[in-house]
Amino acid sequence: MEKFELSNLFTIKGIAAPSGLLYSQNVLFVISDSSQFLYQYDIEKKLLLKFPLVKEAKENIIKENKPDLESITQYGNQLIMLGSGSTNQRNTMFTLDLGSDTLQSQDLSALYQKLKTIGSFTDEQLNIEGSIYAHQTMLLFQRGNSKNSRNGIFIVPNHQEDGIRFVPISLPTLDDIETTFTDAILVGDTIYFLACAENTTSTYEDGEVLGTILGVMHAPTFEIIEVYLLSEHQKFEGITLYKESENEIEFLLCEDNDTETSEAEIYKLILSKTEWF
């Protein structure tokens, strides 16, 4: 594993259980798995705004009722936010047009049921934790942290449900427990993903955190090229591109510390570019 630099960049007060983030034009969009708001943080002004995703939106929703928004991605002017699918309350997709502030929602129950069938997952095993939309195709990252489940990537072609495929992905282990996807982004032809080892066999209950890795994957083949151990005790759940130069690439990460504290810790990760491919 090569060297990298990871540092705590700032804290956003007013957000509990951050699960995904997306950086755009000095604004950080943050989702929480226990909230029905999209958070918008102006980094320069240190100003937090809340955008309700439903009528009478709530925060700090109890586990059995929470929407479990676990992934956020961008396609053009559209922000796309997805529930994990791990319970019937977690099957909603929200899209927000950044130009017009038009918000739409869609029930993905039928799609998620098809994913379970294609991937041979039970209702308890499906757990979508990351998403990428590119080339008219959605990549959905399945976190295989429940009993007998598997990590993998669902390939969902646009408007072609019959063409959905599931590609199992074997990830490194920490303390003899396989890491499982917690988020992923696409930069050029490279996928950068986070994966955490957690001592649990449930998509519902949290377990002891054993660490988080950053993986570098060749997007056309899903071949893992490099792996970095980011922490042996922290659970990073969100990653977004921050800055890129000729020699370095910088990301912002968010940490889910599995507490009810309404503070989101944002980290900066600097990675030196290497000739992986």
- Sequence-distant (6+) residues with CB within 8 A of 54 are 36, 105
Q: What is the pLDDT of residues 182-228, one digit of tens each?
A: 999 999 999 999 999 987 655 545 668 999 999 999 999 999 999 99
Residue whose pair of structure tokens reads 């209950």 in the numeric block: 205
Res 63 pLDDT > 90: no
What pTM was estimated for this model as a whole? 0.94
User: Is 103 within a domain?
Assistant: yes
Q: What CATH number is associated with residue 32? A: 2.120.10.100
Q: How many domains does the chain have?
A: 1
The structure tokens 């030196």 sit at 272
Whether 2 has a pLDDT exceeding 70, the answer reads no
In sequence order, the 6+-apart residues with CB closer than 8 A to the CB of 275 are: none
Structure confidence at residue 200 (pLDDT): 66
pLDDT in the model for residue 206 = 61
The pLDDT score that the predictor gives to residue 277 is: 53
Q: In 3D, which of 188, 200, 191 has the Cα closest to residue 239? A: 191
Q: Indicate if the pLDDT at residue 132 is higher than 70.
A: yes
Residue 94: inside a domain, yes or no? yes
In a domain, 277, yes or no: no
Q: What is the pLDDT of residue 149?
A: 86
**Residue from 91, 178, 83, 164 nearest 131 by CA:** 83
| Distance separating alpha carbons of residues 267 and 4, to the nearest angstrom | 13
Domain extent for 32: 4-272
Q: What digits encode the pLDDT tens for the residues 157-166?
A: 987 677 999 9
**Residues 15-52: pLDDT tens digits?**
999 999 999 989 999 999 999 999 999 999 999 999 99
* pLDDT value at residue 1: 41
- Radius of gyration, alpha carbons of the chain: 17
